[in-house]
Every structure is written in structure tokens, then in C-alpha cells.
Amino acid sequence: MPRPGRNTYSDQKPPYSYISLTAMAIQSCPEKMLPLSEIYKFIMDRFPYYRENTQRWQNSLRHNLSFNDCFIKIPRRPDQPGKGSFWALHPSCGDMFENGSFLRRRKRFKVMISGQLAAGKPLDAAHYLQQQAKLRLSALANTGTHLPQMSNYSLGMSQPSTFKHPFAIENIISREFKMPGGLPFPPMQPVSAGYSLHNQLATAWPHMYSTNAIDTVAHISTTSNDYSAFGVPVKSLCHDGQTLPAIPVPIKATPAPLSNLSAIPAHIPAFAPNCSQSLSLTSHQTLSMAQTLSSSLCPRGR
């Protein structure tokens, strides 16, 4: 950690990665999704270091948004004109940061494709998507691992906890938090970020966000990690303690091009209105979804 010296701490580069900073920004707003410009604003408001060389770090930040699967892009609705999409955290990226601290990531979050995909065998996309939905639910039931955020959750206010990492988001973005050099963060400002992430994801990710799916797991207790990636007690992230599985995977295990399949729905709002609210998608739904996805995501080729 840099120590305050001749220069105030605020003049020095904060010890957070761009991923951390972006995650903070997204987490800080009630909707859990922000347009790029608001992410910039959040960072500049709180970290004076980033009020300079904006071109440099903003390019890096955009690179991170695109490059890292932990961020998902949520298109604006037609009735919400404006530039750019909203950005949110991937529902399964909750385990990225060690010990709930933003200072260091546990491992790179990658959306995973398992089994035959990893082996390079031909993909039955519809089957894959259905399998993934099942896997997520069963993982949820078995492990009680967590989802970073759900809507209607207030940072650091919901559940008692015994440990609060000094660099956990609830400390970082809370009114009381002070930078090590004594610079207090300005009070959180409400961000007009539009419509609810949950509403979007509930339609786009029926297997993750639907009322049915949540009801199914509403009373599963959390037995593993008590903290999410953001230093917020996992139990506080979901209503009634329900959780959803985080499936971060080592990057090595990640196959290339189709690895974004499970991040797809956020990219294809068009299919959302027709989505079933149940966990199991129909073959037709999954197939059309997969087709749309593979065509839109494959060029990314990572």
C-alpha cells in the first residue's frame, strides 16, 4: 500500500485494478448496472488520481469491460435513449476477489463450457444451454455458493457479519470510508441508471433469475464462503438467504470461442420476452438462443 507522503494519497494511484473499480461502481448503484459514462464518473468522483490522463485509463477500462467475462453488457430499452449500453456484473462472478477484498482478484473469471466443448467436440448448443441451466441449479443446491448481487439489496446494511475487509466494497463506498491518507469519499450519489438489472436478467436469464428458480432455492442455506467478491456477506446478497452458484473456473480450463455462451442472454434482449420463466428452456428456445449467440459471440474468438 502506498503511504501518504509529500503528495496526498489521493494523488497516487489507488491500489485497485480497473476490474475492481468497475465492480465498485456497478455495485454502488441500486440497479447494479451502469452506463460507461457513469462508471467513469464514479471513479473520477472518488479517486482524484483518475481525473487526469482520462484517455489512457478510460481506454483501459473499456478494454477490461469487453475483455473480461465478469462484465456483461445490457442493451438499453427503446424507451431509454442514450449512448451505450449498461454494464453489469456477471451473475456468476461472485468469487473473483480474495477474502472479499477488491485489492486482489482470486482468479480471472471466465464463463465456462465443460465436457464435450472443452474437448473440442461438436456442440449441440441447445443441449448445452439446457445442461448449463441444470448444472447451475444443482450446483446451487449442493454448494450454496453465491451470486454477487440481486436487486433491492442495500450494500452493507442487511445482514450481520463478523468480518469486514477494509477494502471490501461496503467499506470502500460507504459514507464512513476514508482513504488511508485521510481523504474521505464523497457521499454516494444516486445514479440515474435506468431500469432494474434484475428485471432485465429475470427475462434474459430465466434459469438464474426467474421467480420460479429463486423460489426453488429460497431456503437453501449458505454453507461455504460467507463473503462475496465484494466483501458483502453472501447472505445479504439474496433475499431470505437464497443464493445462486458462482462457477468461476481456472482460465486454463476454458475452451476458446464458444466460451461465452453462458453469458449470452444479456446480449440478446430480443429473445427475452419469449423466455419461459422456468428453469428448463424449451428446445426451441435454447436452440434459437444458441444460434443467435454463436453467431454473435463467436467472432470474439477468445
Partner DNA sequence: ACCTGTTTAATCCAAA
Partner DNA sequence: TTTGGATTAAACAGGT
Name the residue type at position 129: L
4, 160, 166, 178, 291 from 173: Cα distances, Å: 20, 18, 11, 9, 40
| Residue 105 within binding range of DNA, rule CB under 7 A | yes
Q: How far is the CB of 59 from DNA (least distance, A)?
A: 5
Q: Closest by alpha carbon to 91, among 278, 262, 287, 251?
A: 262
Identify which range of 30-38, 168-176, 216-224, 225-233 contacts DNA by CB under 7 A: 30-38
Q: How far is the CB of 13 from DNA (least distance, A)?
A: 7
Q: How far is the CB of 18 from DNA (least distance, A)?
A: 4
Largest CA distance in the chain: 64
Mark 57-96 with x for binding to DNA (rule: CB under 7 A) and - for no binding: x-xx-xxxxxxx----x-------x-xxx-x---------
Q: What are phi and psi of 165, to 5 degrees?
A: -60, 135
Q: How far is the CB of 67 from DNA (least distance, A)?
A: 5
Q: How far is the CB of 267 from DNA (least distance, A)?
A: 7
**Closer residue to DNA, CB minimum distance, 203 or 254:** 254
Q: What is the DSSP letter of 102?
A: T
Number of residues counted as binding DNA (CB under 7 A): 36
- For residues 234 and 94, what is the distance between their CA atoms, to the nearest angstrom? 9
Identify which range of 103-111, 147-155, 170-178, 231-239 contacts DNA by CB under 7 A: 103-111
Identify which range of 35-43, 113-121, 219-227, 286-294 contacts DNA by CB under 7 A: 35-43
- For residues 36 and 85, what is the distance between their CA atoms, to the nearest angstrom? 7
| Residue 35 within binding range of DNA, rule CB under 7 A | yes
When binding is defined by CB under 7 A, the residue of 108, 143, 151, 159 that contacts DNA is: 108
Angle at 31 between CA 233 and CA 297, to 5 degrees: 95
Classify residue 64 as left (phi > 0), alpha (psi -120 to 50) or beta: alpha
- For residues 73 and 85, what is the distance between their CA atoms, to the nearest angstrom? 6
Contact footprint for DNA (CB under 7 A): 16-19, 35-37, 40, 56-57, 59-60, 62-68, 73, 81, 83-85, 87, 104-105, 107-108, 250-252, 299-302
